[in-house]
Structure 1
């Protein structure tokens, strides 16, 4: 668990350019708003995954987050109105037959689907042509039936079969698709360096996640009675001083971590930390955010440790080194190392050196 205060050193390149938002013409608006989609009629209590399209009382809605059949009209955090151009009833999941290539500066509306660098994205919110990879509050990766990008694992360094071998008894909340979708929103994760380095990084990340969650079993920390609110922060703890307990694959903890992760991901996690336990993709994104950007009690991020050949041991130090490394808890360190050795075996890659801290 991320028990020690972490100074978030996000290099926030805030683009504050004054954009002159020009209302699109009727024809250009029709071009981007009329998207074909397949849909099913909404059924209360049925499980829907992010990207599913439903028809409810004559209107169409796209699921922004996985949910167990919440009302599209009432549960607006889970659903967004969208538009369907034909398509008829079908098997759900969406189609990209009318997807257009993304164009910077073009006005897009909620539910529009675009093609960008070989993958598809759906607009979660109206926006004036923000980049689908960078502006992840406005766009989500999208699953296209028969359309290629955005759906399955594709060329991701860990296949679904390998993921299932690593976590045979995992909680159904931790989906492979959620992991892949989250990874695509932070493109440098497990895509840097040689194929060996990519696989080593994925194995290292998943080994630490396995240790933190008991093999991807626990979504939330068992003991929720700890005050993980740093009240010296100017933004305080608006969700309550006991609301910032560990959640997700790396058990995100403390108000300042929820604030920093939310700012990076475009989510208000400070006000609503429960989001991390409500969406598989969001949970994975917070863990990858930490892995890619936070040094914790260490001297480098987990990502940097693996791509710069510092070794798996340095990734342990960045996550919980103050409590485990330098002989403080060798059994916990060994647990992480053993998982890393197992997972590199699944991926068929060498372990590298410097496994311990």
Structure 2
């Protein structure tokens, strides 16, 4: 049964009512970064007091918390220990075992140096989930720009009021960042300056590190805090990344993602049964 997001979040708010001192109802044109800023919060603080909120699909009418208070809600289950740093050889094996070409060392360096600090990823199992989706979304780390928009820039799409006429906010990065509000939010998180990527969205595709780091930003604020993800349910991560097209039930690219995940887990040396639940 599909439960509307607004109902889910309302139930969450009832459960955690003692931990929220002030709420706000999402209106047309709102985004997480804007709501957080208007209420004196950082994006991280806003996400922390709204666990499970998908900032990439913020729906009008959803009630969100804008000021915490009272005792903190229970902590989610602790993830398994990291199990050691993934080597370049393991990374290489993970990519090639999924049928893609061998990645350069620069891709590994950007991946391994930032997954914890930028993505909040705390276990090799979650890291395997992340890499699986990155490989699927980017054609094996080949594409950093939305293919259909790369040449034309899709000038009539992804437009918002106030966007500069010579800037275009089509998909860029390994999990494609779209719309100016999301470029601003990612920029604020990564640089402490919302305008850096707003005025230079092309930087995401130019820079290997930014292609990874915007993906880590997306993961941290839209996937990482999902209880199913932390409990090892790969389908929960698929639901967060592309659930509208692939979940309830698992269909389209969903089964292929899971098969790829099993290969990445083996390459990473993770000794547990992969769990497809959550989609």
Q: TM-score range by the shorter chain?
A: 0.5 to 0.7
The answer to whether the aligner puts 1:273 opposite 2:205 as a matched pair is no
Look up the match of 2:219.
291
The within-5 A match list for 1:85-164 is 157-164=85-92
Q: Please give the TM-score of this superposition, normalised by the length of structure 2.
A: 0.61
Look up the match of 1:316.
238
Look up the match of 2:158.
229
8 and 318 in structure 1: CA distance in 2 versus 1, 3 angstrom threshold:
farther
SS in 2 for 1:175: helix
Look up the match of 1:345.
266
* Equivalent in 183, 186, 194 of residue 118 of structure 2: 186
CA distance in 2, matches of 1:346, 1:340: 10
171 and 240 in structure 1: CA distance in 2 versus 1, 3 angstrom threshold:
farther
Query: Deviations 1:288-333 (Å, cap 9, x if unpaired)?
Result: 0100012xxxxxx245346531611111111111122224x71311
353 and 251 in structure 1: CA distance in 2 versus 1, 3 angstrom threshold:
same
Judge which range, 169-178 or 279-288, deviates more.
Answer: 169-178
CA distance in 2, matches of 1:11, 1:156: 35
Alignment check: 8 A CA contact 1:203 1:340 kept: yes
Look up the match of 1:260.
185
CA distance in 2, matches of 1:216, 1:265: 21
Look up the match of 2:257.
336
CA distance in 2, matches of 1:157, 1:6: 39
SS in 2 for 1:157: coil
Aligned length: 195
Query: Deviations 1:8-33 (Å, cap 9, x if unpaired)?
Result: 3686645xxxxxxxxxxxxxxxxxxx
Gaps of 5+ in 2: 1-28, 43-82
Look up the match of 1:206.
131
CA distance in 1, matches of 2:105, 2:157: 24
Q: Please give the TM-score of this superposition, normalised by the length of structure 1.
A: 0.48
Gaps of 5+ in 1: 15-154, 192-197, 295-300
Query: Deviations 1:75-120 (Å, cap 9, x if unpaired)?
Result: xxxxxxxxxxxxxxxxxxxxxxxxxxxxxxxxxxxxxxxxxxxxxx
Alignment check: 8 A CA contact 2:226 2:236 kept: no
Look up the match of 1:167.
95
SS in 2 for 1:223: helix
187 and 324 in structure 1: CA distance in 2 versus 1, 3 angstrom threshold:
closer
Larger Rg: 1
